[in-house]
């Protein structure tokens, strides 16, 4: 009876030795080595001639890519020294300085001849300059000769480095392969055996690394394309112009949308500034101290009182309140949008796969880059600063809301549904309360990240405490900068204690 090929491949591990199926060649040798390594508790010394001869290529053939990357780097370093010592012109980079000095020397000779005819008083100065240039030329030639004399030393260094690397490869080979074999026994999806693709890839990567690095460092003038990426500056210029034109057209065509968004942000900001700035300072200070005491305890309230005294006595009260109003506007909008979005993403994994790259972009893009499109669409001022702050600080609340809701135990939700809970009751009475610690951590992170944008936002007219720090940087006023920075720190710590409360 003929057995199909698929059935033969599926029963191969049971029909043959596991080691033979895993290594493909030399199974008897590897079976003995794996047994010796497994029987010992510590490191077992073994020697693999194939790894010694093939080097990093052997590790690539065996899919030990982490070892491959390390060893190919070490081998390349040694090969480059060999190439420089055998074929490289070590003095060429030094002698490249000669044409410029020789041209200057020729010019000085002409000036000396002219001075001897018309200005005898200048002759001594030109003669000294010529003697100095000649000494410099002799020194460069001597330096080039010394560099060329190091070729034998480089060959010895390269050969020694390559030999040491190969010794390490031969000693570690069986241990590394045995560790991969142990993983393969529990997870057969891990690649095993040898195939043409892995062998060709390992050889190709090794050869490309050797050749390109040897050409770049051993013969820097032979292949100019290896010295820097052969990019066309015109490409960057054309793409930048296209982006600029698109942003200008988008700003004009969507002006009504951005104006409406600015109006909404300005309305929230004006309301919060009225509350924080216009309220008499004793009322505002008492309210903050009371809120801290109720949330985090009276020890934290004492610290808050000391922080408020620092802000008041050093003249930062008004700017601190304006900063908190700006921060509160950005945080309120980010939280009011981020928590619903996180709830929807937690219930719709497909949507979260699209939202997550956007959140990654928001967190990894440098904060200064946000200011460029924000200024293009919103101009300068506080609304633009709030938009930039929202982009920078709005990601954590979404991520941690999703994390908290996905962490709700399934058996709790099933028990609630078994007692007749509908989706709305399940969300508000089960999921959100259990996910609240994670959601609160997201809110806290959003607020603190927004506060971190205070100084950067001041670049586009946000004012507040960030303006003092910016002025201190511009005028090198160390005292003012430190005091303003401590004021920002006090605001951050007070907000952190109020939001986190006693949960820590």
pLDDT for 31-58, tens place per residue? 888 888 887 777 888 999 999 999 999 9
**Which of 17-26, 176-185, 217-226, 267-276 ranks highest by mean pLDDT?**
176-185
Question: For residues 1 and 135, which has the higher predicted lDDT (pLDDT)?
Answer: 135
pLDDT of 504: 46
341-398 per-position pLDDT tens digit: 999 999 898 999 999 998 888 888 877 777 888 888 887 788 888 888 888 888 899 9
The answer to whether residue 476 scores a pLDDT higher than 80 is no
Q: What is the pLDDT of residue 203?
A: 92
Q: Is the pLDDT score of 229 beyond 70?
A: yes
Q: How confident is the model at residue 15 (pLDDT cuts 50, 70, 90)?
A: very low
The CATH code for residues 270-500 is 1.10.3720.10
Enter the pTM of the model: 0.66
Torsion angles phi and psi, residue 453, rounded to 5: -90, 5
Output the pLDDT for position 17: 66
**Dist CA 47 CA 37 (whole Å):** 12
pLDDT of 189: 82
Contact predicate 192/184, CB 8 Å: yes
Q: How many CA atoms lie within 13 A of 393 on its CB side?
A: 32
**pLDDT at residue 34, rounded to an integer:** 87
Share of the chain above pLDDT 90, in %: 18
**Could you give the C-alpha distances from 57 to 88, 198, 202, in angstroms and in order?**
26, 10, 5
Q: Token pair for residue 183? A: 């993983």
Instruction: For residue 380, give the DSSP letter.
Output: S
The residue extents of the domains of the chain are 13-90+152-226, 92-149, 270-500
The Cα 211–Cα 80 span in angstroms is: 9
Could you report the per-residue pLDDT of 128-182, keeping only the tens digit for each?
888 888 888 888 788 777 777 778 888 899 999 999 999 999 999 999 999 999 8
Task: Determine the pLDDT at residue 11.
Answer: 38
User: Residue by residue, what is the 3-state secondary structure of 220-264?
Assistant: CCCCHHHCCCCCCHHHHHHHHHHHHHHHHHHHHHCHHHHHHHHHH
Q: State whether the Cα torsion 140-142-143-149 is positive or negative.
A: positive
The structure tokens listed for 418 are 């078994």
Number of Cβ within 10 Å of residue 36's Cβ equals 14
The tokens for 347 are 């219930």
Q: How confident is the model over 280-324, as pLDDT tens digits? A: 888 988 888 988 888 888 888 898 899 899 988 888 888 888 888
Burial grade of 186 (CB within 10 A; 0-12, 13-18, 19 or more): exposed
| Whole-number pLDDT of residue 503 | 52
Taking the C-alpha atoms of residue 55 and residue 169, their distance in angstroms, rounded to an integer, is 6
For residue 217, the model assigns a pLDDT of 76
- Within 8 A by CB and 6+ apart from 193, the residues are 21, 22, 23, 24
Query: Residue 11 is encoded by which pair of tokens?
Result: 């029963």
Which range has the worst mean pLDDT, 188-192, 215-219, 295-299? 215-219
Task: State the average pLDDT over residues 459-467.
Answer: 79
Residue 502: band (very low, low, confident or very high) from pLDDT cuts 50, 70, 90: low
The single-letter DSSP state of residue 270 is H
């Amino acid at each position: 009876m003929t057995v199909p090929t698929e059935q033969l491949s599926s029963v191969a591990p049971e029909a043959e030795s596991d080691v033979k199926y895993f290594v493909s060649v030399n199974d008897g040798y590897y079976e003995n080595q794996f047994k010796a390594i497994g029987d010992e508790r510590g490191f077992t010394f073994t020697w693999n001639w194939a790894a010694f001869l093939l080097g990093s290529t052997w590790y690539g053939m065996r899919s030990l890519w982490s070892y491959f990357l390390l060893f190919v780097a070490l081998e390349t370093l040694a090969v480059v020294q060999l190439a420089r010592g055998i074929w490289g012109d070590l003095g060429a980079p030094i002698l490249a300085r000669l044409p410029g000095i020789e041209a200057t020397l020729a010019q000085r000779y002409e000036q000396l001849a002219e001075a001897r005819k018309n200005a005898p008083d200048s002759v001594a100065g030109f003669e000294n300059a010529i003697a100095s240039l000649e000494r410099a030329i002799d020194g460069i030639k001597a330096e080039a000769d010394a560099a060329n004399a190091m070729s034998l030393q480089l060959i010895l260094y390269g050969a020694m480095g390559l030999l040491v690397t190969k010794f390490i490869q031969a000693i570690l080979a069986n241990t590394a392969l045995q560790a991969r074999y142990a993983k393969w026994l529990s997870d057969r999806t891990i690649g095993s055996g040898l195939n043409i693709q892995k062998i060709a890839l390992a050889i190709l990567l090794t050869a490309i690394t050797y050749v390109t690095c040897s050409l770049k460092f051993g013969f820097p003038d032979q292949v100019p394309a290896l010295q820097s990426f052969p990019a066309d500056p015109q490409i960057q210029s054309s793409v930048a112009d296209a982006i600029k034109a698109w942003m200008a057209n988008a700003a004009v065509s969507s002006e009504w949308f951005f104006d409406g968004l600015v109006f909404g942000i300005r309305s929230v900001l004006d309301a919060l500034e009225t509350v924080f700035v216009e309220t008499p300072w004793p009322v505002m200070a008492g309210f903050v101290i009371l809120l801290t005491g109720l949330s985090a305890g009276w020890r934290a309230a004492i610290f808050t009182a000391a922080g408020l005294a620092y802000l008041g006595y050093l003249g930062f009260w008004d700017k601190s309140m304006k900063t908190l109003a700006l921060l509160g506007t950005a945080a309120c909008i980010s939280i009011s949008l981020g928590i619903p979005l996180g709830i929807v993403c937690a219930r719709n994994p497909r949507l979260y796969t699209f939202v997550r790259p956007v959140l990654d972009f928001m967190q990894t893009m440098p904060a200064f880059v946000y200011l460029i499109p924000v200024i293009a669409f919103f101009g300068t001022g506080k609304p633009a600063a709030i938009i930039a702050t929202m982009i920078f600080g709005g990601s954590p609340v979404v991520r941690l809301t999703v994390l908290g809701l996905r962490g709700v135990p399934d058996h709790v939700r099933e028990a609630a549904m078994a007692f007749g809970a509908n989706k709305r009751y399940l969300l508000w009475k089960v999921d959100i309360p259990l996910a609240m610690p994670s959601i609160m951590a997201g809110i806290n992170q959003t607020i603190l990240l927004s506060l971190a944008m205070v100084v950067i936002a001041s670049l586009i007219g946000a004012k507040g405490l960030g303006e003092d720090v910016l002025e201190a940087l511009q005028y090198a006023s160390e005292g003012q900068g430190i005091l303003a920075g401590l004021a920002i720190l006090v605001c951050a710590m007070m907000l952190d204690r109020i939001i986190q409360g006693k949960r820590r």
